Amino acid sequence: PQPMMLGKEFIDNPEAIHLGNIPATGRKLTIPLNSAHSCVIVGRPGYGKSYLLGSLVKTLSDMNQHVIVADLIDSDFRSMATQINAAVFSQDRGGTSLDLNPFRVKGFSEQETQKLSTDFLLSAISMFAPQDTFLRDTVSAYYSESTNEAKGSISGFIRFFEKTFPKLNNYAGELQSNHIGALKSRLRKLQSCLSDREFCPDMILKNNAIIELEKMDSREDKAISLLFLLNFLIQIKRRE
């Protein structure tokens, strides 16, 4: 980018993260720490994308910023865990799991948990607008009608869904069956990467964390896990 395309806080800012130098001018390209920007890094294999990400992670850690890395493609961030004092979690059958569970979050009120589980389900399995309404109604009924024993797990929600969902929509016959079947199959897919145990946010909020997702069974499992983490972090941001 040319310097005139960027605000002054993105050029030669001594209190910001130094990304590199702008060609032809040599001036520093910087990102302020209070920035809420997303950054897309592209390039051919071997051109330094992972190196740049690693440098950013190290720089943020050195500036006493909290860092959470979700690794989808085996970029070997584990090797820098000691440098940034990070705990490492592997979301596969052989690693230390985070027990991702949108229905049971330590330290969350029931209202906060309901908001998290609703947003997560909408982003993970809803395909079109009517399903948004149906899912919201089902989640709301789950929290208001379920016993304490039935709350707190994806398996408990699926059982409640199978029993309650047909009462919450206006479809009938084969259309209703197809509609419910499509959502049910997506819900059951969530069981392969979500846990029924309590999710403990402090595991990633109190210290830097590297979350390895690359060894999960499928791309869909990786996407679902990442969706949960993003929805959770958005919820945490709303608390602040």
Q: Which comes out higher in pLDDT, residue 13 or 114?
A: 114
Residue 229 CA to residue 13 CA, distance in Å, equals 31
Of the candidates 208, 229, 201, the one whose C-alpha atom is nearest the C-alpha of residue 80 is 208
Least confident of 32-41, 202-211, 216-225: 32-41
Band (pLDDT 50/70/90 cuts) for residue 86 is very high
What dihedral angle (degrees, nearest 10) is formed by the CA atoms of 181, 186, 188, 193?
180
Chain-wide mean pLDDT for the chain? Answer: 82
* pTM of the predicted structure, to 2 decimals: 0.79
pLDDT tens column, 104-119: 999 999 999 999 999 9
pLDDT tens column, 160-190: 888 876 665 566 667 667 777 777 788 888 8
Count of CB atoms within 10 A of residue 1's CB? Answer: 10
Q: Which comes out higher in pLDDT, residue 11 or 113?
A: 113
- The reported pLDDT for the residue numbered 232 is 94
- The reported pLDDT for the residue numbered 3 is 44
Q: What is the mean pLDDT of residues 55-61?
A: 88
Least confident of 68-82, 123-137, 157-171: 157-171
Band (pLDDT 50/70/90 cuts) for residue 85 is very high
Q: What is the mean pLDDT of residues 198-211?
A: 93
DSSP the chain: --GGGS-GGGBS-TTSEEEEE-TTT-PEEEE-TT----------TTSSHHHHHHHHHHHHHHTT---EEEESS---GGGGTTTTTEEEEE-STTS------TT-BTT--HHHHHHHHHHHHHHHH--SHHHHHHHHHHHHHHHHHS-TTT-SSHHHHHHHHHHHGGGGSS--HHHHHHHHHHHHHHHHHHTTT--SSPB-THHHHSSEEEEE-TTSS-HHHHHHHHHHHHHHHHHHHHH-
- The reported pLDDT for the residue numbered 5 is 58
Q: Does residue 4 have a pLDDT over 60?
A: no
pLDDT tens column, 150-164: 678 888 888 888 887
Least confident of 7-11, 51-55, 228-232: 7-11
Q: Does residue 128 have a pLDDT over 90?
A: no
Residue 201 CA to residue 87 CA, distance in Å, equals 13
